[in-house]
Amino acid sequence: MTVTVNEMMGQAIQLPLSIVSYGPLVTSWCYLEYPNHPDGCPNYLEKDWCPPTVAEFPTGADISNYDMIRGHNDEMFLLKLKPDMAPTMWLFIRHFNLKEWVKRLRDEHSFMSDAQARVPYLYHDRVYNRIYADAESFKWSLERPAILYRRPEANGVNLFATSRVNGGPQPKKNPQDDVYLMAILAEKLVIR
């Protein structure tokens, strides 16, 4: 029996955003050491969805319904929805059961180590493609054009804080069991 990404993926979650935490400090996380990558993420400078190639959030988004508030330092900001205004940004989330994925993959491929089964490229793209499809479907219900931030953390969005304050799941750094992958859809800034 072949294990599939779709079996490990949860239902789509879509949250209207009343608060977004962001800033250039978030993209500096790309340089932080993590297992087997002492110099940070190998995608930095390499992928078109990674810094410094991608635009800093909220470039291109209509944030007129939000107040901008300086965060706890000069490198972090909050967008907070103004009273009586409708949100113009939404967070799309998919849960991935990493623990079960690793177990089933290792059952199927006994030679595979735990670390090998956890390599993100084995599942990331397929889960993200489902998130993008969720957002694209929703986009057609909007009256205005929209922009999709495919990897919002690369644009500088603090997904840990943004998900939490909007009632979403709390992702973990270097997750062992549950992974939450996210994208943001925002109405485009229209210049007249």
- The segments of the chain whose pLDDT lies below 70 read 1-3, 35
Placement of tokens 């979403």 in the chain: 168
What pLDDT shows up at residue 38?
Answer: 85
What pLDDT shows up at residue 51?
Answer: 84
DSSP reduced 3-state for 51: coil
What pLDDT shows up at residue 2?
Answer: 65
What pLDDT shows up at residue 50?
Answer: 82
Closest alpha carbon to 100 in 5, 173, 13, 1: 5
Q: pLDDT of 42-53, one tens digit each?
A: 888 888 878 888
What pLDDT shows up at residue 140?
Answer: 92
What pLDDT shows up at residue 3?
Answer: 64
- pTM of the full structure: 0.89
Instruction: For the chain, give every domain's residue range.
Output: 5-187
DSSP reduced 3-state for 65: coil
What pLDDT shows up at residue 36?
Answer: 75
**CA dist 66 → 47, 83, 88, 93 (Å):** 30, 9, 9, 22
